[in-house]
Amino acid sequence: MEVVVPGPWWNTLTYTVEDGLELPCGARVRVPVGNGTRVGFVSGGVYTASGVSNGSKTFELKPIEGVLDDRPALGNELWDLAGWIGNTFLCGTGEALQLMCPAQLLKGEPLEIKPPIEIKSGDNLNPLAQTYKKSFQETLYYNPIDEERFAFYRKTLLAGERRALLLFSEAKTAGAFWAGMAKMPESLKAGALLWPSSGGKKLWDAWKKTASGEVRIVIGSSGAAFAPLCFDDVIVDDESSLAYIFQRTPRISARTIVGRRALTLKARLLLGGRMPSARTYKRSRPEYRALPQRCELVFVDAWRSFKSEVRGVEGRLPVTRALLERTESVLALGRSAFWIMDRKGQAGEVYCSDCGTSICCLRCKGAARCEGVGENARIRCVRCGARGGLPPRCPVCQGGLLLGKRPGLEALLPMAARLMKGHKVLLDDPELEGKKSRSLKYSEGPSLILGTRGLLSLCDSLDVGLIAWLDLDAEARKADYNARFNAFSMVWESCWRGLSQSVERLVLMQVRGSGNSWRSTLRLGWGHFWAGELRERELLALPPYGLLIQVDLPKNENRKALVDSIEKEGIIVMDSGEENSPLWIAAKSAEKLRAVLAARFGISRSRMGFPVVTVWAE
């Protein structure tokens, strides 16, 4: 019997079973692995022999130690989805199962499984909704006013006794929509559930309750994409948001997953938000009507900023007279103001003034920023988040003068306090403050709040009259094919989030020079932005016209041998040659690359480590 044991390896493991024992694919079994036991999922193939032959060698097969289910634990649809994820995103079925399943399911805790609803091709009717034929449908609804979109979603829920998934890009937004369910009919609320945003017992209870059929409406953020329910309606809000991408491997978009599920289940898929994603715009060219006429878009030349040197840090903080005047006027009206700069810490980088070497993270060799000053100065890795003390000397030349580059928010705070005397100036740090204390802190009167793009979520609870992007071009210059979209979408969100039609907000953008044609599209709308952006992506075969595949190698991997084997298949590899840098591959599909990489994902390589593959498709 072939068994998938959840983990980073791609191959199945083979075991024997008792004569006559038949188990369906997706059922859980307990199997020996190494010196212990693990819970795996039946993948197929029954063996009654005691060994298998591989060339000149014969391997003794071990029997399974226990059967946990007599039916697929995930249901047929989710089990097939795990295989699709593994093949499409080059992560293997085992790693897909780790992403999809609650920890208790993988530990073998008992689960009462109802007979599965078969999803077959053709015109089968859903046993729980026999009044209509099911067929996949896609509907688009783009409206920048959140409450108007939410009202449309609630209206959709009221249209018939159908099972629905409502997916939101942020847990906070899902919670706000859930709170609004209090106004819905009691019969609708009784069958609804707010999907937990974290794991543990709450997630396990929600999973079992949904799998048992007690729930017909699931509301939640990205994790709800795997709720074990055969949906009739799938609603995805803010569908272009990159927040749907899971932060742990495999980095797959929950929006892509529910789109696949809707297609498999022949469900109605409603995509909504403030603007469409690249893939949706390419496919459907949706119309748009709303333009940011009610908020004033102001561009300010960042080259005219004050001389704002920070001791021990190279570079200036871009603070202009226009920024100060607009902030002063908004605070005087009793409204809050945001200054956004996506660079935390005292400095974005620390380097040796003698040899020019940048101080890197000791754990992953990633770029490190400086936090704190003087004796409290520490470094934090931008890639893995590890913190450590600032070394007294350069690790390369032993030079004793370490300087910072690109001042960050910590350096901006004392400067803003001096320039905005008489007003409350705060630095937002969600990592150090709980969600409740964060909201309470900013609700005590108008204030100037400094922070990264995460500040935008506070627009839902605060009256924000000004959102200022201190260095907008820095957002669009990042080494990411999505950089211009990130910049555009964040400014677009700044114009509308948390507002009603009767309230206005100023969005101020400090920019450098008159270039960057994407800026002009902010006044024209996202249709103009995507039209220009997609023309360039098509020429370069970037998503959504092709796949961009990132391969991070383990320390002991033979980099040259892997590159050679990939290039033999006619695949072009972009390799900087730098240690610890990823390989980049542009391809129409991942099929050929999967065949090359498969040998490096066998369970026998566990001690060596496995490559980490990220497929960027959106």
Tell me the backbone φ, ψ of residue 329, rounded to 5 degrees. Answer: -70, -35
Band (pLDDT 50/70/90 cuts) for residue 535 is: very high
CA distances (Å), 363 to each of 384, 385, 386, 404, in order?
8, 10, 7, 21
pLDDT exceeds cutoff 50 at 125: no
State the DSSP H helix or E strand holding residue 586, giving kind and residue range, or none if neither: strand 583-587
Q: Decide whether 137-274 matches 296-537 in CATH topology.
A: yes
Q: What is the DSSP letter of 41?
A: E
In this prediction, residue 99 carries a pLDDT of 94
Q: Which of 293-297, 303-307, 318-322, 366-370 has the lowest mean pLDDT?
A: 293-297
Surface-to-core class of residue 73, CB atoms within 10 Å of its CB (0-12 exposed, 13-18 middle, 19+ buried)? buried
CA–CA dist 448, 338 (Å, integer): 6
- Prior bond of 250 cis (ω within 30°): yes
pLDDT exceeds cutoff 80 at 228: yes
| pLDDT-above-90 percentage for the chain | 53
pTM: 0.88
Q: Which CATH superfamily is domain 547-616 in?
A: Ribosomal protein S10 (3.30.70.600)
| Other Cβ atoms closer than 10 A to 189 | 13
Domain ranges of the chain: 2-107, 137-274, 296-537, 547-616
Class assignment of domain 2-107? alpha beta
CA distances (Å), 529 to each of 237, 485, 550, in order?
20, 8, 26
State the DSSP H helix or E strand holding residue 44, giving kind and residue range, or none if neither: strand 36-44
Query: In this predicted model, what pLDDT tens digit does every residue of 90-124 receive, in sequence order?
Result: 999 999 999 999 999 999 999 886 654 444 443 43
Structurally, at CATH architecture level, domain 137-274 sits in: 3-Layer(aba) Sandwich (3.40)
Are 208 and 111 in contact by the 8 Å Cβ rule? The answer is yes
Choose between 434 and 285: higher pLDDT.
Answer: 285
Average pLDDT of span 36-49:
80
Query: In this predicted model, what pLDDT tens digit does every residue of 451-489 receive, in sequence order?
Result: 999 899 999 889 999 999 998 888 888 878 899 999 999
Ranges 168-172, 364-368, 552-556, most confident: 168-172
CA–CA dist 395, 360 (Å, integer): 10
CA–CA dist 51, 53 (Å, integer): 7
Average pLDDT of span 199-203:
92
Helix, strand or coil, per DSSP, at residue 305: coil
CATH topology assigned to domain 296-537? Rossmann fold (3.40.50)
